[in-house]
Amino acid sequence: MTISEVAKKYELTADTLRYYERVGLLPNVQRTSGGIRDYSEEDCRWVEYIKCMRSAGVSVETLIEYVKLFHQGSETISARKKLLLEQREQIVARINEMNEVLAKLDWKLDGYEERMLKFEEENFRK
């Protein structure tokens, strides 16, 4: 697939894909004889993984470290797992924070019209 096809498929920009390649997240993207990037299925799986992790808040630096460890081979499995477990803990913490915010918002919305009408009538209709 060309860079524009991959960008469209994963809703990323071509600049983002080039950046991922430049920093080592997609280190092995092949090129045609004319120099055009030719993304393989494996490259696309990495793009999908990177996009998923980025949307969960995982930093580019953490992903670079993970990819670097991955390419070093099976002796880095425990280090990769540790990295993923750390990221999981951070994601769970963010989910818990968002659930607290959601609960506060739900509380505020529950009966909003009745409370607001009463407040407005008491304070603005005199």
How many structural domains does the chain have?
A: 1
Residue 25's CATH number: 1.10.1660.10
Contact 17, 7 (CB under 8 A): yes
How far is residue 29's CA from residue 114's CA, in Å, rounded to a whole number? 59
Predicted confidence at residue 79, as pLDDT, reads 98
Q: Enter the tokens of residue 33.
A: 């004889």
What does the pLDDT look like over 80-117, one tens digit per residue?
A: 999 999 999 999 999 999 999 999 999 888 888 888 77
In the block, which residue shows the tokens 């924070």? 97
Whole-angstrom distance, CA of residue 14 vs CA of residue 6: 8
Domain residues for the domain of 46 are 3-124
The answer to whether residues 39 and 1 touch, using CB atoms and an 8 Å cutoff, is: yes
Given a cut of 80, whether residue 12 has pLDDT beyond it is: yes
Q: Are the C-beta atoms of residues 76 and 70 closer than 8 Å to each other? A: yes
pLDDT digits (tens, 9 = 90+) for 14-56: 999 999 999 999 988 999 999 999 999 999 999 999 999 999 9
